[in-house]
Structure 1
Amino acid sequence: MTITKQIEMARKMLNAGNGGAYARLMSGSIRAAMSDRAAKAFQAAIVEDGAERFFVNLDTFCPLAA
């Protein structure tokens, strides 16, 4: 699955009011990212969505869903 598709799927969960599922999907995607570019794309999407409150240690490459 592409980075864009994963972000779109996570955003659907966030828009449906399921912030926990959004955080689990995005944190897992960051940890599974094969490159720094991919991990940074996921982190940028989280910041763009204003969803930082759902994460612990977001500034690392091993964030946890809060």
Structure 2
Amino acid sequence: MNSSSLLKMQIMRLQEAGKVEEAMAAMRNYLELERDAHSASVIDNQEPQGNVVCFPRVRAIS
């Protein structure tokens, strides 16, 4: 199982527990790490690597 799948499961568990803010924070942290890794890859290779990151929808709690 890759890190993206683990993150999706973690976010879904947080949402189910009603912890939407924590789920959003997990997504932000992951995106920052991906951005940093992508920047390092571009600097090293001078060629961007294509990555697709998919996240589950965040459900609003009313």
Question: Which range, TM-score by smaller chain?
Answer: 0.5 to 0.7
Equivalence for 2:22: 21
Q: Secondary structure at the match of 2:24?
A: helix
Tell me the TM-score normalized by structure 2.
0.58
Shift of 1:16: 0.8
Q: Which runs of 4+ in 1 moved over 3 A?
A: none
Q: What is the alpha-carbon distance in structure 2 between the residues aligned to residue 22 and residue 11 of structure 1?
A: 8
Q: What is the alpha-carbon distance in structure 2 between the residues aligned to residue 7 and residue 29 of structure 1?
A: 11
Q: Which runs of 5+ in 1 are unaligned?
A: 54-66
Cα deviation, 1:22-53, whole Å, max 9, x if unaligned, reads 0000110011013451xx41xx31xx41x287
Equivalence for 1:7: 8
Shift of 1:2: 1.1
Q: What is the alpha-carbon distance in structure 2 between the residues aligned to residue 21 and residue 6 of structure 1?
A: 12
Q: Which has the higher contact order (CA 8 A, sep 6+)?
A: 2
